[in-house]
Amino acid sequence: MSRLRLRWEENTSPTLAAAVARDPVVILPVGSIEQHGNHLPVGCDANSAEAVALRAAEGFLDVERPVLVLPALWYGYSPHHMAFAGTVTLRSETFLAVVQDVLDSVLSQGVRRVVILNGHGGNVSSLDVVASRLGQAWHGKARIVAVTYFQLAAARQDEFRESTMGGMGHACEFETSVQLALHPDQVDMSTAVPCYPRPPSPRQSTDLFGSSVVRGYHDFKDLSPTGTLGDPSLASREKGEMILGICVEELRTFLAEFATWPMT
Ligand SMILES: [Zn+2]
């Protein structure tokens, strides 16, 4: 039998059958294709989630319960970005159905531990619904959780953050740093423009680590002329490596814990 590989799609069917019998943790990275200001690629959220998943899963193949990474879902739920060129969105019904069908496939073949690793804020509510629906359908037989990768760094933002609230939102200090670390060739810093948006209520925040007591639809065209929310001028490659390191470390800790969760 061929050697087990990290990426699900690079394995043969018999190799995966043997891996599934070892009760693996399976990660589904989920992103979106959407504008990220003038300076970042539209695949930012998907490539970030996939990179964090692959880096975190490294070294987990030879342990009792291996970690495998499914092919990333590059499309997500991004209607609030559609006013900007390059955005491609699924309808929420389609998005829910695709994620659910992908995960139902592996669950029905015996996978019992699934982590949806999300890279896009607009997906959060839908993925909560999927994790809840599947969790109920597979109750007692499998565990399904959803994690948004940048939230893994929330408690440690003082280690890398220079901007005030509002500086980390979208194509911002945080995401620009991550792209400079992962894909510097796809970043055009000469076109990066900071924007500290003012949502209509002080009870709303556009910051990745802010909290919105009042929630609702915000079209990004109304919040920012370029689509950027936050301050990309504070981004650096070093900061991106630090952020990725924190996200990967936190995810690895969780993966080890999740591998031991009981089924109820
Ligand atoms: Zn993003």
Full set of structural domains in the chain with CATH: 8-258 (3.40.50.10310)
Tell me how far the alpha carbon of residue 162 lies from the centroid of ligand 1, in angstroms: 19
pLDDT digits (tens, 9 = 90+) for 155-207: 999 999 999 999 999 999 999 999 999 999 999 999 999 999 989 899 999 99
Cβ 4 vs Cβ 19: under 8 Å: yes
Tell me how far the alpha carbon of residue 101 lies from the centroid of ligand 1, in angstroms: 24
Tell me how far the alpha carbon of residue 47 lies from the centroid of ligand 1, in angstroms: 10
Record the pTM. 0.97
Tell me how far the alpha carbon of residue 240 lies from the centroid of ligand 1, in angstroms: 14
Nearest to 48 by CA among 32, 65, 69: 32
**Own/partner pairs, 205-210, CB within 8 angstroms, 24+ separation:** 205/165, 205/166, 206/166, 206/169, 206/170, 206/230, 207/165, 207/166, 207/167, 207/168, 207/169, 208/121, 208/150, 208/154, 208/168, 208/169, 208/172, 208/174, 209/154, 209/157, 209/168, 210/165, 210/166
pLDDT digits (tens, 9 = 90+) for 38-92: 999 999 999 999 999 999 999 998 888 999 999 999 999 999 999 999 999 999 9
Tell me how far the alpha carbon of residue 67 lies from the centroid of ligand 1, in angstroms: 25
List of E strands, 149-264: 168-170, 229-230
Tell me how far the alpha carbon of residue 170 lies from the centroid of ligand 1, in angstroms: 5
Q: Which residue has the tokens 């990725």?
A: 244
Tell me how far the alpha carbon of residue 150 lies from the centroid of ligand 1, in angstroms: 10
